[in-house]
Amino acid sequence: MSGCTTTQLKAEFPEPPSNCMIPAPSLKLLEDGKLSNAEGIIVDNYSAYYTAVDRLDCLQDWANSQKKIK
């Protein structure tokens, strides 16, 4: 008697857009307590933060669009 054979199917999950997968940079630290550089470091860190937020939003939008395709 022959029955159904067990076949394992491997679902191919699509790759997310490469512009959404760039890792966030490390935040800059204040060197040796030099307050003269603090303003520039703060601006750079805020810029890095908001860039990371944009990438996360991009990745979440992509993931939500993939859910709708199923």
Q: Is 68 helix (H, G, I), strand (E, B) or coil?
A: helix
Return the pLDDT at 48.
Answer: 95
The torsion of the CA quartet 57, 69, 16, 10, rounded to 10 degrees, works out to 140
DSSP labels, 12-58: -PPPPPGGG-PPPPPPP--STT-GGGHHHHHHHHHHHHHHHHHHHHH
Return the pLDDT at 70.
Answer: 62
- pLDDT by residue, tens only, the chain of 70 residues: 566 667 777 777 788 999 999 999 999 998 877 788 899 999 999 999 999 999 999 999 999 998 887 6
Return the pLDDT at 7.
Answer: 75
Return the pLDDT at 11.
Answer: 72
